[in-house]
Structure 1
Amino acid sequence: MASGLMLVVQPLTGLPGEVLELVQFGPAVGVAVVALVRPSQVRGLLTAGGARGPRGAVLLSALAIIAVAVAGSLLLHGSVPVRDPNGLVAPFWVVAVAQFVGACGEEIGWRCFLQPLLRTRFGPLGSSVAVGLLWGCWHLQIFAAAPAYAAGFLAATTAMSVLLGLAWERIGAHRLLVAGGFHTLVNLGMLLFLDEESGAVEPMVLFGVAGVLVALPWVLAALRPARTDRLATT
């Protein structure tokens, strides 16, 4: 409901969506509403964390997703539609900061609240897949595009959710900053190097494939200890 309201309000503000989309704060509003009912549970989920882990690797994975998608475009066409940062509707640093704020507005709901909540029932992998699909479907506009476009986007959100969910098993505090940074790097990379906003199918499919490929090592690394434990008990 909050997301729908913000979509209505956005045009009235005159704020360019390229700088910041108010709808990104919908998940944060959802968390705030739940906090009014169950404050201690929300506080526990938002502050939960394990040992210090590979935060830098998470951020590098965001860059890797864009790099793989760009490499795919180069292989197919020999060129990439690079956008000049000076051609944005606002200075690049303003766009980057606003994108980070908006990304944190989303991630406080997806990665900091819903994902750890579902993990208590479905485990790291199951909860990550569920949140990735919900996160993707929340972007309702993708279903107005070609089926392959929507499939590529859902593959990307699910893969990125799995990557972050498995990384959370090894990351302690500052999860919001890491998730927000990851989300921001991906968004900026798409803004500058991919032409998916035009509705073109190929860039979105490349984005989905890139997300799956970059998430795969995280999945294999997570499965390796479990396989080792099983061998040790036989």
Structure 2
Amino acid sequence: MGRMHADFVGRTERRGGVWGTVVMFTVVASVAAGALGVVQPATGIPQEVVQLTQFGPALAVGVAALYRRRRTRELLRGAVAAGSGPLPPGGAVLLGAAGLIVALCVLGYYAVRGEVPFTSPGSLQHPFALIVAAQLVGACGEEVGWRCYLQPLLRSPLGTIAASVTVGVLWGAWHVQVFTQAPLYAAGFLVATVAMSVVLGIALDGLGGWRRLLYAGGFHALVNLGLLLFLDEESGAILPMLCFGLSCLVVAVIAVVLRGGRRAPERAAVHAATTLHRT
């Protein structure tokens, strides 16, 4: 029965076209984000608290569910078979990776400038607790699309790493306002989104449902909060963004190396079992 269902899903995806779904998702997420950005000033919600554009990917998932409800539900629940599971304990490792990215950003900036532009939470225009809660909600609005829908969709045909890189490129390009900045700024941002997507893809491999959303949203929110307090990358300054991109790249390389080390014993065990069966 499981094999019959997998064959049915495979045929359905080939007919409908995975890449057609990817294009649809990206277009809807972009249009929805643009519309939300236009209406935000009328809502009175400060961008320092949350940017409504973050909910564009969530709306794209809703549109996808209108014509492929069953498949969308399976992806969000983690019905796609995946690897050997998250790095144990998955959530703590992922949140620790977010903290490591921020720490490396701060160290890199300090090494160049000899100072760090720290913003005290008390100096913000709105209560920091409100900002933290809103950032988590906004991050989940993004990640339900990128990490809970699109990345699992692409994992089956591409594999974990290639799917993560692809989603990272689309995620970065979705932030279209970045490309109005200097080329080095945009390059640093794209390196950051691809690298973070790889970290998330590896850590969340095999995890589905609300835990996947919560961990991905928590990682995203922690990174955003760290940048808010310690760097001024949204000012368009190139150095903070390059520090951010390189820090994400370092953590992604570590994640890939750890993943390779974790999978080596599994491959050896499979090879040994295959050899024994042949003899």
Is contact 1:125-1:165 (8 Å) kept? yes
Map 1:153-232 onto structure 2 (within 5 A).
153-171=189-207, 173=209, 174-225=211-262, 227=264, 229=267, 232=271
Counterpart amino acid of 1:190?
L
Normalising by structure 1, report the TM-score.
0.95
Specify the alignment match of 2:46 in structure 1.
16
Secondary structure of the structure 1 residue equivalent to 2:159: helix
How far is 1:84 from its partner? 1.3
How far apart, CA to CA, are the structure 2 residues paired with 1:142 and 1:133?
A: 13
**How many pairs are equivalent?**
234
* Contact 2:148–2:208 (Cα < 8 Å) also in 1: no
- Corresponding position: 1:134 with 2:170: yes
Any stretches of 5+ residues in structure 1 without a counterpart?
A: none
Q: CA deviation at 1:74?
A: 1.4
- How far off its partner does 1:216 sit? 1.1
Cα shift at 1:113: 0.2
Q: 1:82 aligns with which of 118, 127, 133?
A: 118
CA contact (8 A) 1:55 1:171 kept: no
Output aligned runs, 1:6-85, within 5 Å. 6-48=36-78, 51=85, 53=88, 54-85=90-121
Question: Aligned partners of 1:108 and 1:77: how far apart in 2?
Answer: 37
When residues 44 and 172 of structure 1 are mapped into structure 2, their CA distance, relative to the original with a 3 A threshold, is closer
Q: Does the CA-based 8 Å contact 1:142-1:150 persist in structure 2?
A: yes
User: Are the structure 2 counterparts of residues 14 and 213 from structure 1 closer, same or farther at C-alpha, using a change threshold of 3 Å?
Assistant: same
Q: Which has the higher contact order (CA 8 A, sep 6+)?
A: 1
**1:148-183 deviation digits (Å, cap 9, x = unpaired):** 000100001100000000112254551000000000
Look at both structures and tell me which one has the larger radius of gyration over its CA atoms: 2
Q: What letter corresponds to residue 147 of structure 1 in structure 2? A: P
Cα distance between partner residues in 1 of 2:125 and 2:153? 38
Distance 1:14 1:193 in 2: 26
Gaps of 5+ in 2: 1-30
Report the Cα distance in structure 2 between the residues aligned to 1:7 and 1:215, rounded to whole angstroms. 31
Structure 1 letter corresponding to 2:119: R
Stretch moving more, 29-38 or 222-231 = 222-231
Distance in 2 (alpha carbons) for counterparts of 1:88 and 1:39: 42
Listed one character per residue, the Cα deviations across residues 182-230 of structure 1 (whole Å, up to 9, x for unaligned) are 0000000010001101100000000000000011111012223555527
Query: What letter is aligned with 1:154?
Result: L
SS in 2 for 1:128: helix
In 1, Cα distance between equivalents of 2:144 and 2:232: 27
CA contact (8 A) 1:19 1:89 kept: no
Distance in 2 of aligned mates of 1:167 and 1:94: 28
- Which one of 79, 102, 111 corresponds to residue 147 of structure 2? 111
In structure 2, the partner of 1:99 is 135
Question: Aligned equivalents of 1:104 and 1:185: distance in 2?
Answer: 12
> 2: CA distance between counterparts of 1:41 and 1:178?
22
Give how far 1:79 is off: 1.1
TM-score by length of 2: 0.80
- Cα deviation code 1:46-85 (max 9, x no counterpart): 1117656421000000010000000011111221000011
CA displacement 1:121-156 (0-9 Å, x = unmatched): 111000000000100110011100000000100001
Shift of 1:15: 1.4
